[in-house]
Structure 1
């Protein structure tokens, strides 16, 4: 993606109902290229469902998703990737029988790159991430933290306008989280894309996001800068309960 080319991903009035259970009840949000937007909320708030909608794995009823004003709500996950929306999953979903490099090369081939170009891109992304685990290491032999990192790298190999990362810090220790934070902060700078980050680790969220959108019970609870969100009494109540909404409380 051309770093100077600004793009916008919009979701408006998103509803998702699973057999009478309302997972999302009218969520509206925007992600711009260059932004790192945190999507947070208690368990069951609808965060992963929202990412599923944005990446084409779940259709909203009603509601719409647009990329630069073009309605993409009915596109398949594969078509969503082609219009610039890539994602990682809570479970890494790597091709475990292939190597680290091959997992990234397949992503490049999937967007029409030649084998040579896809291989060079894969090596460049791994080098940029500082990955030292071995390009030819089989993914079935990766430690959990490396699985998370390679999942992000594979999403970036799709050359997205928007990268949606679902709990990438899960299972990481403090040192690994610090390295992950550095990586996420630099994704918009290096690749020019916007990042949406679902994460329960508030140190990561507060350390990398310039905006945060809070969900609770399938609805939007708050949106703002990290400083604004962590002082919002509704957010504190959702996370900590009524007794912990004093002015000096933090998430």
Structure 2
């Protein structure tokens, strides 16, 4: 599939079953290019399964994923990345025996850039995220927070129409989270892509997302602005239980 600047990523009636476990049960969501959508929910809600479906790592048992109305549900992860969907992982999954620059260059080569263009793009992105520890630093020597940032940078090196970020703030301290938030909120402006953010850190979610989609038990529970979602009684129940609702702040 030719990579085009797609405007809409849509998941419709997504069902995923693992043995007797229904990980996703009729989920619908839409991400627009240039927007930031938060995907939240308790542990086991189906968030990472949803990202795996959108990025081709998990085929749905039912439903479809489409880019501007074109079904991409059966494409391989590589073809989906080439079509315009980039992602990061909970574990960074960097090529640890390669340098930071090489990790991003490989991503550029994968979408058809020349070696020179892929290398130039890698350095531009690393400068943009304010990475200062050396293009030639091997990834096995990176700090945890740098691993998380380089994972995002590698996803951006795919020139995606949509970047799916899976718990990028996990394990970061408050200062690192603030730096990460600045990066994420500026991704649509700098790269022109939409962002879907999975995150348990509510400070990050509420600070950068325009809309939030809540999953619970594999089903869509709520969707709306941060202000709307954090006051939704069903969302408070899912996170905190009935007794905690009155005084809860998400």
Same fold (TM over 0.5): yes
**1:226 aligned onto 2:226:** yes
Residue in 1 that maps onto 2:98: 98
Q: In structure 2, the residue corresponding to 1:244 is in which secondary structure?
A: helix
Residue in 2 that maps onto 1:174: 174
Provide the rounded CA distance (Å) in 2 between the counterparts of 1:128 and 1:18.
40
Which segment is superposed worse, 5-14 or 50-59? 5-14
Question: What is the 5 A alignment of 1:1-251?
Answer: 7-246=7-246, 249-251=248-250
Q: In structure 2, the residue corresponding to 1:29 is in which secondary structure?
A: strand
TM-score by length of 2: 0.97
Moved over 3 A (4+): none
TM-score by length of 1: 0.97
Instruction: Report the aligned-residue RMSD.
Output: 0.8
Provide the rounded CA distance (Å) in 2 between the counterparts of 1:233 and 1:88.
31
Provide the rounded CA distance (Å) in 2 between the counterparts of 1:150 and 1:73.
28
Deviations 1:198-248 (A, max 9, x none): 0000000000000000000000000000000000000000001001222x6
How far residue 55 of structure 1 moved from its aligned partner, in angstroms, is 0.2
Provide the rounded CA distance (Å) in 1 between the counterparts of 2:19 and 2:240.
30
Q: In structure 2, the residue corresponding to 1:25 is in which secondary structure?
A: strand
How far residue 6 of structure 1 moved from its aligned partner, in angstroms, is 6.2
Provide the rounded CA distance (Å) in 2 between the counterparts of 1:214 and 1:133.
37
Structure 1 gap ranges (5+): none
Provide the rounded CA distance (Å) in 2 between the counterparts of 1:41 and 1:30.
17
Provide the rounded CA distance (Å) in 2 between the counterparts of 1:135 and 1:230.
41
Q: In structure 1, the residue corresponding to 2:62 is in which secondary structure?
A: coil
- Aligned residue pairs, count: 246
Provide the rounded CA distance (Å) in 1 between the counterparts of 2:135 and 2:27.
40
Provide the rounded CA distance (Å) in 1 between the counterparts of 2:35 and 2:240.
28
Provide the rounded CA distance (Å) in 1 between the counterparts of 2:55 and 2:98.
24
